[in-house]
């Protein structure tokens, strides 16, 4: 004979009672699991809360290096804008010194270049930038030289680490440079109160590299490498 348990006026076989109890325990377990973790949990963005400055060199009256109809000021602006997009997608607040073809001359009196640089610096400082990336292209008399290279302010250990992280990613992503980071003296890096690096994205004096730098695909690749370098530097701190 099958054992029967009486619940109120309904008679159920003990086997069925066990199944119902097991189902109840399972439901309670699932409920506690769902309640203990948010259903919409997302990984935090890697650059959340960071203020990053992007300084595309030259602009306006100052074209920088020129090779045929390719101008440094246009190449570095395009790369800077791609970098801005990547950084924003990573959660950063991005401050561009310029987002179009312009310079920073409020008055034409005095040494133009110095005034331009001082005004760039003011934008960066007033915006509370925490990390600064200046973008330039290189140019030599010879067409032999090529490859992206990152510079840091001599004596800055943090600058050296940042430059190294970006150089590593440029080597890995662009796959066309074996250049090493180099220290030097640069107005923006020296005078700025935050850490920074200057990225020479390649040589316009090398026809093959100049042609590459003029394409959006390559500009994006370089911007992506700089972005990954920034992430790598910050995650190692
Ligand atoms: Zn330059």
What number of CA atoms fall less than 13 Å from residue 6's CA on the CB side? 2
Diameter over CA atoms, the chain: 109
Residue 224 confidence (pLDDT) above 90: yes
What is d(CA 155, CA 211) in angstroms, rounded to the nearest whole number? 35
* pLDDT tens digit sequence for 141-150: 999 999 999 9
pLDDT given for residue 149 in this prediction: 98
Distance from Cα 134 to the centre of ligand 1, integer Å: 9
Q: How much distance in Å is there from the Cα of 138 to the middle of ligand 1?
A: 7
Query: Comparing 39-43, 153-157, 206-210, 227-231, which segment has the lowest mean pLDDT?
Result: 39-43
- Residue 86 burial (C-beta neighbours within 10 Å; 0-12, 13-18, 19+): buried
CA of 145 from ligand 1 middle (Å) equals 16
* Cα(69) to centroid(ligand 1), Å: 16
Percentage of the chain modeled with pLDDT above 90? 74
Distance 64 CA to ligand 1 centre (A): 5
Distance 172 CA to ligand 1 centre (A): 24
Domains and CATH numbers, the chain: 4-36 (no CATH), 51-235 (3.40.630.40)
- Per-residue HEC secondary structure of the chain comes to CCCEEEECCEEEEHHHHHHHHHHHHHHHHHHHHHHHCCCCCCCCCCCCCCEEEEEECCECCECCCEECCEEHHHHHHHHHHHHHHHHHHCCCEEEECCCCCCCCCCCCCCCHHHHHHHHHHHHHHHCCCCEEEEEEEECCCCCCCCCCEEEEECCCHHHHHHHHHHHHHHHHHHCCCCCCCEEECCHHHHHCCCEEEEEEEEECCCHHHHHHHCCHHHHHHHHHHHHHHHHHHHHCC
CA of 149 to the centre of ligand 1 (A): 13
Distance (Å) of CA 42 to CA 38, 45, 51, 103, 230: 9, 9, 22, 41, 22
12: CA distance to ligand 1 center in Å? 86
In the reported structure, the alpha carbon of residue 38 is separated from the centroid of ligand 1 by a whole-number distance in angstroms of 49
CA of 37 to the centre of ligand 1 (A): 51
Q: For residue 202, how far is its CA from the centre of ligand 1 (angstroms)?
A: 11
C-alpha 198 – ligand 1 centre gap (Å): 10
Distance in Å, CA 150 to ligand 1 centroid: 13
Give pLDDT, residue 7. 47
Q: Look at residue 26 in the predicted model and tell me its pLDDT.
A: 59
Q: How far is the CA of 175 from the centre of ligand 1 (A)?
A: 23
Ligand 1 centre to CA of 234 (Å) is 26
Are residues 134 and 191 in contact, defined by beta-carbon separation less than 8 angstroms?
Answer: no
Mean pLDDT of the chain: 88
Give 44-94 pLDDT, tens digit per residue.
Answer: 899 999 999 999 999 999 999 999 999 999 999 999 999 999 999 999 999
> How many angstroms separate the alpha carbon of residue 126 from the centre of ligand 1?
23
Mean pLDDT of 159-168: 98
Confidence of residue 34 (pLDDT cuts 50, 70, 90): very low
| The pLDDT of residue 187 | 95
- Output the CA 75–ligand 1 centroid distance in Å: 10
Structure-model confidence comparison of residues 179 and 17, the more confident one: 179
- Work out the pLDDT band at 22, boundaries 50, 70, 90: low
Look up the pTM and report it: 0.81
């Amino acid at each position: 004979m099958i054992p029967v348990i009486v619940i109120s006026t309904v008679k159920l076989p003990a086997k069925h009672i066990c199944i119902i109890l097991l189902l109840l325990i399972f439901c309670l377990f699932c409920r506690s699991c769902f309640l203990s973790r948010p259903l919409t949990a997302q990984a935090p963005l890697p650059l959340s809360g960071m203020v990053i400055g992007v300084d595309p060199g030259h602009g306006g009256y100052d074209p920088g290096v020129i090779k045929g109809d390719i101008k440094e000021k246009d190449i570095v602006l395009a790369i800077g804008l791609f970098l801005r997009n990547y950084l924003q997608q990573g959660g950063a607040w991005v401050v561009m010194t310029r987002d179009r073809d312009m310079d920073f001359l409020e008055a034409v009196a005095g040494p133009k270049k110095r005034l331009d640089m001082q005004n760039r610096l003011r934008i960066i400082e007033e915006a509370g930038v925490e990390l600064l990336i200046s973008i330039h292209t290189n140019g030599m008399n010879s067409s032999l030289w090529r490859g992206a290279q990152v510079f840091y302010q001599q004596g800055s250990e943090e600058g050296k680490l940042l430059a190294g992280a970006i150089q590593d990613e440029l080597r890995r992503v662009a796959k066309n440079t074996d250049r090493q980071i180099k220290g030097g003296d640069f107005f923006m890096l020296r005078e700025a109160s935050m850490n920074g690096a200057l990225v020479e994205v390649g040589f316009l004096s090398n026809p093959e590299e100049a042609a590459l730098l003029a394409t959006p695909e390559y500009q994006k690749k370089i911007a992506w490498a700089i972005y990954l370098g920034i992430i790598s530097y910050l995650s190692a701190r």
